[in-house]
Chain A
Amino acid sequence: MNNVLNIAYWIPLLPLIGFLINGLGRKHLSKTATGIIGSGVILGAFVLSIWVFLEVKGGNTHDAHYFDFISVGDLKIPFSFKIDQLSSLFLLIITGVGFLIHVYSTAYMHEEKSEHFSRYFAYLNLFVFSMLLLVMGGNFVIMFIGWEGVGLCSYLLIGFWFKNQEYNKAANKAFIMNRIGDLAFLIAIFWIIAKVGSVNYTDVFSAAGLAKLKAADVVIITILLFVGATGKSAQIPLYTWLPDAMAGPTPVSALIHAATMVTAGIYMIARCNVLYSLDAAEITRNIIAYTGLATALLAASIALKQNDIKKVLAYSTVSQLGFMFLALGCGAYTAAVFHVMTHAFFKALLFLGSGSVIHAMGGDQDIRNMGGLSKKLKITYITFLIGCIAIAGIPPFSGFFSKDAILLSAYLKSPVLYGIALFAALLTAFYMFRLLFLTFTGKFRGTHDQEHHLHESPAAMTIPLIILAVLSVIGGFVGIPAVFAEGGDKLGAFLSPVIAAAHGEAHHVTHSTEYMLMGLSTALVLIMIVFAWFRFRNYQRSEATGLGKVLENKWYVDELYDKIFVQPLHRFGGFLKNIIENKVVDGMVNAVGKGVNYGSRQLRLLQSGQVGNYVLLMVLGIIVLLAIQFFIRK
């Protein structure tokens, strides 16, 4: 098999090389060189990924074993890559969208100092490298390495402007929240090692491997893995880091939200779909579905009242991730992966578009200060509009197909789930178009200086926007449901070798029901958009009251966490510091010091200078020695 799959290791290696060059040479490289290296390595990885993808599409999958990473007793953990349908698809998304974001960054970050510019690209490359390692890894441990690397890079990039203390706090928050999930992931890996004796996907997911797991083990492992995923993919209860992660530069937000990081949880569960499809994991599937649904609804409701352009998008990401988990919980793994893909397109587009807006506004992110930008930022406006339509789910844009697949899977599980999910989808349409109208239509509400400064972004920023906009339009055509065209679900067919026959994904619904569901959601979404138009066409500032205020303050979840977890921990820390450290530990140390001091002061008196005393002591000493001789050494 002498083909590209044998050199697939270059896909993660290239960004790593880029990271090393940019990281080590950050004081010597010019901005142009950094930009070319940083983007070039990702482009190289992207080209290789396309090649690998075509090879996999031709039916060749590949398990590459490079060397033994850890070898203890019977346990062997190889450093291996697994290149199959699922990972090759993720490779495309990560490197493709990642490349566009890199190109965009060369323009967006151009005002940074040369050294920081290189540092930024080094982190970005490392981020892509970690994510590639995560999806290419052939066992849970390699995935975990990438998993941790992604967490680290998100920390570095969120806190990129490290002189701002608030940004550092946001970075810490992201890191700590992720660590909570990572711990669960780690325990799940240990559990798998203890029960199966191997961490390789092929061993664990084989019939022999699954036979070693009792029902209780399956439940525990799947739940622990899911907890890990909630940390990385920002689900209740660990979602609060993601909106704060907006502290980083805007392209980083795009990277975190679209290509890397948050999709890791989805990938992990899709990768473990064999485990999640077991009958024993029924309870886990329900937990995932309801968590996803609750997250989708909660985040969508918060997004309704946010005034920071990036915060709205952040909550919409949380909400969309909730949809993906809903699909996973319903057993519709293909739908979830499909939504990851389309979401990567339109969310990257929206974030980069918002970056363009922020760029034009001179750093202002408050949509209450914007308005009427469509006249000055035509390309940004049109691409942003496309992104909004895609995320709202209007046919034939990409978001429609993936969201429809998820809603259908929810409907098959229970019509109540469908109803709530549809409601969340309507909220999505509403807040996205609120954002669009507030930003781009009406009158400009900012200062005079800002109005004067408004300008379209350079080509390095608009071209990625246009490419992403095109992808957002056509990206859905790989997964056309069977009602429109028999065999239109190319993505499902492509992924079928790695996705277990899902529960309930077989189409029990008649075509008429499916048409009805689609028509219903589309009609309601259109109504929502019109409603948003009338509501926000001529926006006037007003103080939020009642429920609106609660939403504006994000349901006070941050405050709640602060009360429940942070403050008790602070108090516990204070107790340790004031009582344990200051009193007990310091007390012991000081007691030893004081004791020696006192003892020596007393012993000093023996040195009297009187010959008689010395002689007496000498005699006493001899007597003691004799006594020892007689009574003890016998």
Chain B
Amino acid sequence: MPINYYILLSVALFCIGIVGVLTRRNAIIIFMCIELMLNAVNLLLVAFSKMHHLKAAATNAAATAGSDGQLFVFFIMVVAAAEVSVGLAIIVMMYRNIHSVDINFLNRLKH
């Protein structure tokens, strides 16, 4: 399967994520859109890693070629998990304080 499809899918996912972040007001949905962007990147990394591996195998290179891309994916997942825990905690605190998760109510950051 050509790499182009993976790239297009990733870009589509990423753009959906961006648009979601920019347009939605619900903090949880924004949060999910951010996860969407992260995973779009993960998908792309895995795809490139696979492609790299296949090319290396064709030329009888080392069997581990291209595996570093997949390693990155694990890193990103770990970081994302940590981020989710912190982010959700913030959202919970926000809900407790203003009884809403609408970010437009959250306009007192400048003070």
Contact = CB atoms under 8 A, between A and B. Distances in A.
Nearest to A611: B103
A149 to B, nearest CB: 69
A609 B22 contact: no
A416 interface: no
A607 interface: yes
A609 B105 CA distance: 10
A630 to B, nearest CB: 15
Given A619-B18, A619-B22, A612 B103 contact: yes
A615 interface: yes
B58 interface: no
A398 to B, nearest CB: 96
B50 to A, nearest CB: 25
B109 interface: yes
A609 B110 contact: yes
Interface string B18-30: 1001100100001
Contacts of B110: 607-609
A126 B22 CA distance: 84
Interface in B73-111: 103-104, 106-111
Interface string A599-634: 000000001111110111001000000000000000
Interface residues of B, number: 13
A610 B103 CA distance: 8
A249 to B, nearest CB: 75
B36 to A, nearest CB: 14
A609 B107 CA distance: 5
Interface string A258-278: 000000000000000000000
Given A610-B104, A611-B103, A616 B22 contact: yes
A218 B18 CA distance: 87
Contact of A609 (B18, B21, B25, B108): B108
A615 B22 CA distance: 7
A614 B21 CA distance: 11
A93 to B, nearest CB: 86
A612 B109 contact: no
A615 B31 CA distance: 12
A569 B64 CA distance: 89
B39 to A, nearest CB: 18
A612 B104 CA distance: 8
Most B CB contacts (10 A, CB to CB) among A612, A614, A615, A616 go to A612
Contacts of B109: 609, 611, 614
Contacts of B18: 619
Contacts of A612: 22, 25, 103-104
Nearest to B30: A615
Nearest to B108: A609
A610 B107 contact: yes
Contacts of B21: 615, 619
Nearest to B106: A611
Nearest to B110: A609
B94 to A, nearest CB: 11
B35 to A, nearest CB: 15
Contacts of B107: 608-611
Contacts of A607: 110
Given A609-B109, A611-B103, 5 more contacts: A608-B107, A609-B108, A611-B107, A612-B22, A615-B22
5 contacts: A609-B108, A612-B104, A615-B21, A615-B22, A615-B30
